[in-house]
Amino acid sequence: MPVFGLGTWMMGESAKTRAQEVAALRCGLDRGVTLIDTAEMYGNGGAERVVAEAVAGRRDEVFLVSKVLPENASRAGTVKACEASLKRLETDRLDLYLLHWRGSIPLAETLEGFAALERDGKIRAFGVSNFDLDDMEELAALDGGDACAANQVFYNLAHRGVEFGLLPHCRARRIPLMAYSPLDQGGTLLSSRTLGDIARRLGATPAQVALAWLMRDEGVVVIPKSSSEARVRENLAALDLRLDAEALADLDRAFPPPKRKQALEMR
């Protein structure tokens, strides 16, 4: 799985912004990004239609991720939801299909749906989103659950709770953690003085420092969302940024790692 992708949350909600959103995704693809993350929930399927337009004629270049809502995640419902996503995305398969978060339907039923989709070639792999450590352990104990290929969670410098137990668990099992809202959209992360000082010293931007920090070790994938081509180019430059020991120490002081288990955050 690529370590950098393009998020699509809040895309596909307005016809007025569609061309801009398609252009931003194509900007990323033109610069070598291969991962696009979307979901049936985003824009009530509108984001998937935006993605379809952006990847038209170049589907084989893309590692495509979508998600099933928990209320749709019964065995038959998972298959039906995936087929609807495939239709909106104008493709015959997903590279990764995630359960968006846990609901009332037993995980075993969802796994049966994932297995049926894999057998039919409609998905290449399955994963989960917003699963905490106990959820991951429960999943792994189920028949087929140990094949989980990713866990997508809210994770950024200002919200590091997953580091206490969940991230080590996933790394030990070689399950990538996909960090959504890696720039803490709606938060105050990018206005941090420490982040700004480090960015100036390294000739970078605060966003690039925040993304490079997440990608500093193996096992974490970032999927920042932007409808701006300029911002997509800015974010991509984080791939070439290496944080030195001084920067990492400063960031740990400003944004301390967790010292105990914390409840998993969802946004």
pTM: 0.96
What pLDDT score does 217 carry?
87
Residue 267: pLDDT band by 50, 70, 90 thresholds? confident
How much is the pLDDT for 132?
97
pLDDT digits (tens, 9 = 90+) for 31-89: 999 999 999 999 999 999 999 999 999 999 999 999 999 999 999 999 999 999 999 99
Annotated catalytic residue within 42, 97, 155, 180: 42
155 is catalytic: no
DSSP labels, the chain: --SBEEB-TTTTS-GGGHHHHHHHHHHHHHTT--EEE--SSGGGGHHHHHHHHHHTT-GGG-EEEEEE-GGG-SHHHHHHHHHHHHHHHT-S-BSEEEE-S--SS-HHHHHHHHHHHHHTTSBS-EEEES--HHHHHHHHHSTTGGG---EEEE-BTTB-GGGTTHHHHHHHTT-PEEEESTT-TTSSGGG-HHHHHHHHHHT--HHHHHHHHHTSSTTEEE--B-S-HHHHHHHHGGGG----HHHHHHHHHHSPPPSS--PPP--
The model's pLDDT over 226-255, given as tens digits with 9 standing for 90+, comes to 999 999 999 999 999 999 999 999 999 999
pLDDT digits (tens, 9 = 90+) for 99-142: 999 999 999 999 999 999 999 999 999 999 999 999 999 999 99
User: CB–CB of 152/98 below 8 Å?
Assistant: yes
Assess whether pLDDT exceeds 80 at residue 186.
no
Structure tokens at 107: 């995980």
d(CA 169, CA 220): 13
d(CA 182, CA 225): 9
Domains belonging to the chain, first-starting first, are 5-183+217-226 (3.20.20.100)
CB burial readout 87-126, b (16+ within 10 A) else e: ebbebebbbbbbbbbbeebebeebbbbbbbbbeeebbebb
